[in-house]
Structure 1
C-alpha cells in the first residue's frame, strides 16, 4: 500500500496539489487551512465588533450553573430551556458591548492598578489572615470557569460601563424647590368620604338565563377543549425496601464498633472566655496595643478578666457574660483562636491573638475530657447505619438492573416480576400535572408526554424522584382532547356571567352617583340606604381605610367652588366605591430631613431616567447583526 502511495505521489496532479499547499502556507500561514475547516460565524456583531462564540458559551455556562444552584439538590439540567437561555445571554452580551463601546468612545479608562486594588480587597480572594491569597483567587475563579486574565478583562469591562453610569448619577441633581414641593405633598393630609357598593349584594340580585349561557358558550367553543391526558402504569423502586436491620449480625455491629473506637480519639472540651478588640479606624497596631494594655492591667490585678470583657470587648454576645464562651471542642473557632486555646494551660491568659475579627485576649477557665461511647450506647445506631449502607448498595444494584430490564422489555411485567415490584396505575392527568406527587413531578411529566412513550409505546428509563426513590413509567391509556358540553361547563359560565353583570351593575351605580353628586344632589337624595364613611386629616397610604380609597383620594384635585372632587373606583375584592375629597391641608412646616432625602431620591431617579434614555439611544443607533 505504501508503495502505491509513493508511486501516485510522483504524478503531475499530486505535484500541483503539493505546490498549491506550499504557496498557501508561504503567503497566509497554516491558519489559512485550519481556518477553512473550523470557520464559524460569530453569533453577533455590534457596530462591526464580534461577540465570540467562546464568550457566549462561557456566559451561557455561568448562567446555567447559577440556575441549577437556585434549583437546589433536585436540580434537573433538562428543565433549562437552552434556546431561551442562549438567546437571553446573547441579548445581554450585545447590550454590554454597546455600553462598552460607548464608554471607550468617551475615552473612559480603568488602570491596571485600580483592578489590582479591587481584586486584593475582595474578601472572596483572601485567606484566613485577611490578606490576598493567590491560591484562593485562582481556586475561586476555577469554580466559575475563568482564568485570572479572563476575570481581569471582565472586571475592566464592568468598571468601564459602571464609570459611564456613575457620570450620570454624579451629575444629576434636584433643586431645593423641587424637594420642598415634594416634601409638602408627602406631608399633605386630606378629609375624605367614601361609600361602597358590595359585590356580594350585587351578585345576589343577578339572574342568568339559559339563553345567556348558550350565547356565551357559542361565542368561543374552543376555550372549552379539555387537555389531552394520559393514564400511566408504573413500578417504583424504593431504597427503604432494601433495609433489613435483622440481617445485620452481632459480629457486624461489634466490628463496626471496634473500627469506630480505633478512629475515636479521646478529645477534650475547653471553657474559654475572650475579649475582642476590633480593627477600627485606627491602625492594626493600635488594636494590638490596646489589647496588650488591657492584658497588663488584668495580670497586675487591676482588673478582673470578666470586668475587662464587660468594659472593652467588642463582642456583644459574650461581653455581658464576662467574655464566657462555654465549653467547646475543636472545629468551633477560627484557626489562630483555636490553635492558641488548645495550646494553653488552665487559668492562663494569652497574648493578643489576631483573627479576621480583630485581636483577642483568651482566658482558659477549665478543661474536660470526652470519653468514647459504650458498645450498648452505640449498638442500635450502628445497626441502623449498617442496614442503611447495605440497602444503598442493594438499591444502586437494583436500579441498574431495572434500567436494563425496562429498556429491553415490551411492558412492565418482566421488570416487575424480576425485581418483585408491584405495577401501579395513576389517575388520568394532563401536561399541566396531576394531584399526586408522581403526576406533578416535572421529570415524570416530560417523560409521560414524550414521543418515545406516546408514539413508540416504550417504557421510560428509570426516573429518580429523589436519592432513594425511582420509577419506570409506561403510558397505559391516551385520552385525547375533546370539547366539553354546555352542561359540563354551565357552572363556570354562570359564575362568569354573574360576576360580569354584578360588576357592571355596581360600576353603573357608582358612576350615576358621581353624576348626581356633581349636579348638587346629596347622598340621601340619591339613595337613602347609602351612608358616607368619613375620615379627617388622612395621610398618604393610611391604614384606616381601603388602600384604593386612600390612593384615589390623593389623586383627586381639590374641590372647587361648587364643584365637588369625586371619583368612582374598583376596590380589591371586587367591590366598588365613590370617593370624595372635602378638604386638603398643607403642612405648617417642612421636615428638613425628609426634604433632603427626597432631594437625593429625586436626583437618583433623574439619573436613572437620563441613563435609560441614553441606553435606548445607543441601542437605536447601534448596528447589530445576529447570526
Structure 2
C-alpha cells in the first residue's frame, strides 16, 4: 500500500499538485504562523519586500512581506493607560461606561498602528539607533537622576516599580524602538520653516480688521400654517435623535442616615475620665500676657535711611519708657502709629501664643512682668513692648472639661454606631449581592425603590452625582449586583442595586407629534427668515444703499469700525461670516448675512479692509510667531508623512478583538 502511494506521488504531475496545494497553505502560514492577525493580535501592519515594493496584496507569497503586530495585551495596556489619563483629567465627571466606545478604542488602536508603521518605515529606511544614543537618552530622563546626574540605583528602582516591571534590557529596547520610529518624524518636524513672504502674508491676514455696517432684521411672523402628515413623517424620520427617551434606571437602595439612628447612651464618668486622662494635654489654659506697645511704622518699600530713622526713634521711646516714673500709656498715645491701640495707651489686652507675628511674640514671651523691651522689628515697623502682667498656664479640672468631653464622646459613639452598621450591611450584602432585602432585614433597615429616572433627573438620592454615576455604570447594570456604600454626606450613605435598565430608545411618532409639528414650523420660519435676508443681500449686491435697504426692512444701520479677525463679536459665527466675504471692490461694498442666536438674521456690508502690518511686530514677537508657524507646518508635515506610509502599507484590523 505504501509503495503504491509512493509511486503515484512521484513525477511532474505530483509536483504540480503539490504546488497548487501550496497556494492556500501559504495563506494559512501567513496568517497563523508568520505573525498574522490571530487570536492574540488586534492589528497588523504589513509591507511588501523591498525588492518588490509594488507587490499586490493578493500575491500568494505574501508570507515574505515584512510585518508588525499590535498584540491584544499591548492594546489593552495602552487603552487602560488612556482610561487613567481621562479619569485624572475629568475627575468626578469621568464616565467609564461612556469611555468604553468603539470610537475611543479605534483612536487608541490608530496610535499604536501609527507607531508600528513608523517603526517599520524606519527599519526599511535603514535607520539604526546606536547603544550610545540609547544610554545618553536614558541618562537624560529626570526620573533616573539624583541631583541632576544619572543614578543607577534610582534607575533600577524606577524600572522595578513600573506596571508591568521592566528589566534594564527591556527598557533599553523600548527606548531604542521609540528613538528609531521618531527620528524621521522629528527631522521632518524640525526642518519646517516659513519664508518671509509667507510670514508677512499670514500676519496681514491674521491681523486684518474690517469696517462693517450691521442691521438687525426684525423677526418674521410666526409660522402657523398646517403641517401635513407626509411632512411630519419625513421630519420625524430625518431627525431620529431629536425624539428619543433617554436612558433610565430603576434602583432599590438601603439608606443609612446617622441622624436617624437611636441616640447612644450617655457615657459614664469612668469613660469620660479615661478620655480626659488620655487627652490631658488638651485641657490646659494657655499662658497669657497683658501687653502694651508703641509702634513706629515703616512701609515695606521704605529706603534704608527711613528705616534707620524709625529704628532710632523707637530706641528713644524705649529709653524714655524705661526711665523711672515713665508713663508708658502717655508715650503710646503721643507717639504710637497703631490706630487700633494708640487711643487706649497702646493696650493690647491679654495675648496668647499664636496671636501675634513671630518676632513680636518671641520677644513678648521672653519678658518678665514690668519689663520694657525694644525696638522689636516686624513687617509693620519697630515696636516698643511693655509686659504689665502674666498668667501662667494651668491644667483645667475634669469637672470643668466634663461637658465638652461628654459632647465629644457622644459624637464619637454616633460615628462608631454608623460605621459599625455600615460595615455590617456591607458584609451581608457581599454574601448575597443580588438582593438587598436579606441584608437590610438583618440590620433593621428598609429597602426603598427609586425610579425610573434619567441622568438629568434629580429625584431623591438620584440627585447625587455619586449615586447617578454608580446607577448608570456598566458593572451595576450588567451584573445586577449591589454597589459599595456611596457616601452622601457625613454619617449618610446608601447601598444601591439596579433593578431595571432601559437604554435610550426612539419615542413613537404618535407620542411626539406636537413636537415634530413645532420643529417643522420652526424650520419653515427659519427658512423664511433666511430667504428674506438673502433677498435683501441681493439688493445690496445690486447697488442699493444700505440705509435704503435697512429702512425698507424696518431697521437701522449700526456702524462697527475696525472689527478684528477672530474676535467673537457680534458672535463667533458672525465674525466668521464677515471675514469670509470677498473684500469690497472699489465703490462697491461686500454684503452678507448671518443668523443671530435668537433665530433672527442680520445684514452686513464690509466697507473697508485694513490688513495687519508686519512692521508693527517687535523682534521678539516676530521670532515667537515665526517659530510657532514653523511648528505648525512641521506638525502638518509629520502628519502627512504618517498618512502616506500608512497608505503604502497593508493595515489589517480585527475589531472583534478590541
Alpha-carbon distance between aligned partners in 2 of 1:401 and 1:474, rounded to the nearest angstrom: 18
Three-state SS of the structure 1 residue aligned to 2:227 is: helix
Three-state SS of the structure 2 residue aligned to 1:530 is: coil
Question: Deviation per CA, 1:336-389, whole angstroms, max 9, x where unpaired?
Answer: xxxxxxxxxxxxxxxxxxxxxxxxxxxxxxxxxxx9997739835565345424
TM-score, with structure 2 as normaliser: 0.60
Three-state SS of the structure 2 residue aligned to 1:619 is: helix
Q: How much has 1:443 moved relative to structure 2? A: 2.5
Query: Which range is displaced more, 556-565 or 470-479?
Result: 470-479
Q: After the TM superposition, which residues 77-88 of structure 1 pair with which residues of structure 2 at under 5 Å, given as runs?
A: 81=100, 88=107
Alpha-carbon distance between aligned partners in 2 of 1:492 and 1:63, rounded to the nearest angstrom: 40
The residue number in structure 1 matching 2:520 is 497
Question: Deviation per CA, 1:450-489, whole angstroms, max 9, x where unpaired?
Answer: 4776xxxxxx434532396232446489999795575x54
Q: How much has 1:517 moved relative to structure 2? A: 1.6
The residue number in structure 2 matching 1:208 is 224
Q: How much has 1:533 moved relative to structure 2? A: 1.4
Q: Would you say 1:422 and 2:452 are equivalent positions? A: no
Q: Would you say 1:235 and 2:254 are equivalent positions? A: yes
Three-state SS of the structure 1 residue aligned to 2:487 is: coil
Contact preservation (8 Å) 2:223, 2:524: no
The residue number in structure 2 matching 1:164 is 184
The residue number in structure 2 matching 1:44 is 43
The residue number in structure 2 matching 1:93 is 112
The residue number in structure 1 matching 2:596 is 571
Q: Are residues 583 and 262 of structure 1, via their aligned partners in 2, closer, same or farther at CA, if it must alter by over 3 Å?
A: closer
Q: How much has 1:444 moved relative to structure 2? A: 1.9
- Unaligned 5+ segments in structure 1 are 1-34, 265-303, 305-325, 329-370, 454-459
Q: Would you say 1:438 and 2:457 are equivalent positions? A: no
Alpha-carbon distance between aligned partners in 2 of 1:131 and 1:438, rounded to the nearest angstrom: 54
Q: Are residues 44 and 249 of structure 1, via their aligned partners in 2, closer, same or farther at CA, if it must alter by over 3 Å?
A: farther
Contact preservation (8 Å) 2:578, 2:606: yes
Q: Are residues 195 and 64 of structure 1, via their aligned partners in 2, closer, same or farther at CA, if it must alter by over 3 Å?
A: closer
Contact preservation (8 Å) 1:186, 1:540: yes
The residue number in structure 2 matching 1:299 is none
Q: Would you say 1:583 and 2:608 are equivalent positions? A: yes
Q: Are residues 433 and 143 of structure 1, via their aligned partners in 2, closer, same or farther at CA, if it must alter by over 3 Å?
A: farther
Q: Are residues 591 and 206 of structure 1, via their aligned partners in 2, closer, same or farther at CA, if it must alter by over 3 Å?
A: same
Q: After the TM superposition, which residues 547-562 of structure 1 pair with which residues of structure 2 at under 5 Å, given as runs?
A: 547-561=572-586
Alpha-carbon distance between aligned partners in 2 of 1:148 and 1:395, rounded to the nearest angstrom: 44
Q: How much has 1:98 moved relative to structure 2? A: 0.9
Q: Would you say 1:102 and 2:111 are equivalent positions? A: no
Q: Would you say 1:144 and 2:163 are equivalent positions? A: yes
Q: How much has 1:512 moved relative to structure 2? A: 0.6
Alpha-carbon distance between aligned partners in 1 of 2:273 and 2:152, rounded to the nearest angstrom: 48
Three-state SS of the structure 2 residue aligned to 1:577 is: strand
The residue number in structure 2 matching 1:512 is 535
Q: How much has 1:445 moved relative to structure 2? A: 3.3
Q: How much has 1:91 moved relative to structure 2? A: 3.1
Question: Deviation per CA, 1:142-172, whole angstroms, max 9, x where unpaired?
Answer: 2432324343333333333333222112222
Q: Would you say 1:219 and 2:234 are equivalent positions? A: yes
Larger Rg: 2
Match for residue 388 of structure 1 among 409, 415, 424: 415
Alpha-carbon distance between aligned partners in 2 of 1:60 and 1:587, rounded to the nearest angstrom: 45
Question: Deviation per CA, 1:155-212, whole angstroms, max 9, x where unpaired?
Answer: 33333333322211222211112212222333443321122224xx33xx21324x41
Question: Deviation per CA, 1:546-567, whole angstroms, max 9, x where unpaired?
Answer: 4444433333223224543112
Contact preservation (8 Å) 2:477, 2:498: no
Question: Deviation per CA, 1:271-310, whole angstroms, max 9, x where unpaired?
Answer: xxxxxxxxxxxxxxxxxxxxxxxxxxxxxxxxx9xxxxxx
Contact preservation (8 Å) 1:46, 1:97: yes
The residue number in structure 1 matching 2:212 is 192
Alpha-carbon distance between aligned partners in 1 of 2:209 and 2:430, rounded to the nearest angstrom: 72
Three-state SS of the structure 2 residue aligned to 1:50 is: strand
Alpha-carbon distance between aligned partners in 2 of 1:124 and 1:240, rounded to the nearest angstrom: 49
The residue number in structure 2 matching 1:360 is none
The residue number in structure 2 matching 1:364 is none
Q: Are residues 419 and 247 of structure 1, via their aligned partners in 2, closer, same or farther at CA, if it must alter by over 3 Å?
A: farther
The residue number in structure 2 matching 1:534 is 559
Three-state SS of the structure 2 residue aligned to 1:421 is: coil
Contact preservation (8 Å) 2:119, 2:180: yes
Alpha-carbon distance between aligned partners in 2 of 1:373 and 1:120, rounded to the nearest angstrom: 60
The residue number in structure 1 matching 2:629 is 602
Q: How much has 1:615 moved relative to structure 2? A: 0.7
Three-state SS of the structure 2 residue aligned to 1:212 is: coil
Three-state SS of the structure 2 residue aligned to 1:552 is: helix
Q: How much has 1:616 moved relative to structure 2? A: 0.5
The residue number in structure 2 matching 1:59 is 78
Contact preservation (8 Å) 1:231, 1:476: yes
Q: Are residues 433 and 613 of structure 1, via their aligned partners in 2, closer, same or farther at CA, if it must alter by over 3 Å?
A: same
Alpha-carbon distance between aligned partners in 2 of 1:180 and 1:480, rounded to the nearest angstrom: 53
Contact preservation (8 Å) 2:256, 2:418: no
Match for residue 612 of structure 1 among 639, 650, 656: 639
Contact preservation (8 Å) 1:62, 1:144: no
Contact preservation (8 Å) 2:426, 2:484: no
Contact preservation (8 Å) 1:213, 1:493: no
Alpha-carbon distance between aligned partners in 2 of 1:373 and 1:489, rounded to the nearest angstrom: 76
The residue number in structure 1 matching 2:195 is 175
Q: After the TM superposition, which residues 398-413 of structure 1 pair with which residues of structure 2 at under 5 Å, given as runs?
A: 398-404=425-431, 407=434, 412=437
- Unaligned 5+ segments in structure 2 are 1-32, 47-66, 284-307, 309-356, 360-392
Q: How much has 1:606 moved relative to structure 2? A: 2.1
Q: Are residues 234 and 193 of structure 1, via their aligned partners in 2, closer, same or farther at CA, if it must alter by over 3 Å?
A: same
Contact preservation (8 Å) 1:183, 1:590: no
Question: Deviation per CA, 1:560-584, whole angstroms, max 9, x where unpaired?
Answer: 2454311222234433222211122
Three-state SS of the structure 1 residue aligned to 2:445 is: coil
Contact preservation (8 Å) 1:194, 1:549: no
Contact preservation (8 Å) 1:239, 1:395: no
Three-state SS of the structure 2 residue aligned to 1:511 is: helix
Alpha-carbon distance between aligned partners in 1 of 2:155 and 2:627, rounded to the nearest angstrom: 37
Q: How much has 1:41 moved relative to structure 2? A: 4.3
